[in-house]
Structure 1
């Protein structure tokens, strides 16, 4: 009987933490990041793609989200799109937090739940409606979970490559940047996993090459250079215009209420500064500065949080928990915003 209870406890713990995280992620972000209509960004084009993703209007580097929603058959009006993508956002957090509770520590899992729910990433998810980001974040959280899971090397390569492949079909350049950052900083602490990650990269690129050949040759979807043309405009005067304006507020908006926790992570793990600086440099070369930084920085913040917890003592862990809970309070102390096209957009 004692053996049965011992074996079942991790599953009970995981279930309870998952339920708690579900309630937090369902209820807290809409309260923290409630926004006026003028502050919201709606991607109206994706609804038309969901009606039929096999057209020349589908971007070759962002295929998976409209295809999944088309296959689901659940979208009959634009409001359905908002509802379903919001559930993808919640699902991402619950799966990640539940896996941490199961594999590591339930206190770490709950603290990460508070970090996610008060993060600029969830601010973006509440404000930018109809983009592929929620599914990208779901896939990068699955990638993180697999990195810290115990599988035979060949199975791990297979699983990682499949998740990477799906991410590349969903948003190619975004996923490549995310996985590059996660892999680099994961290898700092797990150098023995280098061949596994290289194998996953190779297999994913082979699969993506075949996928790209199929959609470009056998479907109406065509090649375009939209990403390249937008990126090319960001050099020179346009880059200066965007990034010299609102520098102080733009910096505050990178993490909002998470700043105390982030500074603590940077103090404990100075190499994390390089990761956040790299994310910021990439975001400076886009019009969607706040959105891009939030998407890029959140996975490596989660990774460093896990690594920090594994080496922290009792007192240091309690500091992490206090800062993660305190982030919610800080978010309510001043008007929240994001930076776009060099301008500060207030939620309220």
Structure 2
């Protein structure tokens, strides 16, 4: 009887925290990251791809988002696309917060909710409209959840492979970088899981290769707009110009209000510094410096936040909570911005 009451109370807390997180993620980021029209980046091309994702204009490495929205039949005008991608963004956060509340601690769940609300990633979601990033974040969120869930090894490999496959079809290079980062730093604390992670990666890679060959063989999609060509254009004067300009503000914009929490995580877990440096090095090789860094760094920040909570004492947990909530205040102390093509773009 006591066990059932305890289980029921646990689920009640999870549901309540999920509802609270939904309200926070729905209301707070649009206010916190409100941007003028000139600061927003619109990807109008994805709307036309949603009308027909099987054309030669479809990027082979970013297939899933236009395809799944095409299948849904919910997109009849560009405004529908904005609404659905925003729903995906909120859903990702709510699922993650709900899982953390249920699996670990409801206070940690609320802490993560505030972390996400004030993160540069949600700044990107509010200002970069019509990109595949919300689906990528949803999938890496599910990947993180599966990592911390208990399943039989074969089932875990299957589930991780499926999520990884979807992520690779949605944005191949982005997902590979994300999973590499998450896997490496997860294995630092869970070395016994290496066979599961390796098995999932190999199985997903085989499935993706079959998918890759199929779309090239049976559809009009071809080898176009590859990230390889973008990287090849980055070296030389362009690379130097973009990365030496606005160095101080560009560094501040990497985490904005999350800097106190990030520094605390780096102090508690010095290995996290390697992860953030790696994210920064990758983002330096793209024009979308702030956006790419936010996408890459947020999942490992979440991973380290969970790990930190599991080993922290009460006082250390209170510091994490304080820094997480305080990030909202810090974000209001100065004009928010992101870095693109070596320039600082202010939201207002």
Q: What TM-score, normalized to structure 1?
A: 0.99
Report what 1:213 is aligned to.
213
Q: Measure the CA separation in 2 of the matches of 1:303 and 1:218.
A: 39
Report how far residue 229 of structure 1 moved.
1.1
Report how far residue 228 of structure 1 moved.
1.0
- Any idea what the Cα deviations from partners look like across 1:169-228, whole Å, max 9, x if unmatched? 000000000000000000000000000000000100011011111100001111125311
Report what 1:332 is aligned to.
332
Report what 1:165 is aligned to.
165
Report the aligned-residue RMSD. 0.7
Q: Which runs of 4+ in 1 moved over 2 A?
A: 1-4
Q: Measure the CA separation in 2 of the matches of 1:204 and 1:78.
A: 33
Q: Secondary structure at the match of 1:242?
A: helix
Q: Measure the CA separation in 1 of the matches of 2:227 and 2:128.
A: 19
More deviation, 1-10/15-24: 1-10
Q: Measure the CA separation in 2 of the matches of 1:268 and 1:238.
A: 37
Report what 1:198 is aligned to.
198
Q: Measure the CA separation in 2 of the matches of 1:87 and 1:141.
A: 15
Report what 1:267 is aligned to.
267
Report what 1:246 is aligned to.
246
Q: Secondary structure at the match of 1:286?
A: coil
Report what 1:16 is aligned to.
16
Q: Measure the CA separation in 2 of the matches of 1:287 and 1:197.
A: 31
Report what 1:150 is aligned to.
150
Residues 1:103 and 2:99 aligned together: no
Report what 1:36 is aligned to.
36
Q: For 1:295-310, list aligned pairs within 5 A.
A: 295-310=295-310
Q: Secondary structure at the match of 1:325?
A: helix
Gap regions ≥5 residues in structure 1: none
Q: Secondary structure at the match of 1:197?
A: helix
Distance change >3 Å, CA 51–CA 225, structure 1 → 2: closer
Q: Secondary structure at the match of 1:270?
A: coil
Q: For 1:282-321, list aligned pairs within 5 A.
A: 282-321=282-321
Q: Measure the CA separation in 1 of the matches of 2:50 and 2:129.
A: 14
Judge conservation of contact 2:61–2:226 (CA < 8 Å) in 1. Answer: no
Q: Measure the CA separation in 2 of the matches of 1:197 and 1:2.
A: 37
- Any idea what the Cα deviations from partners look like across 1:93-133, whole Å, max 9, x if unmatched? 00000000010000111000000010000000000000000
Judge conservation of contact 2:168–2:176 (CA < 8 Å) in 1. Answer: yes
Paired residue total: 348
Q: Measure the CA separation in 1 of the matches of 2:45 and 2:240.
A: 30
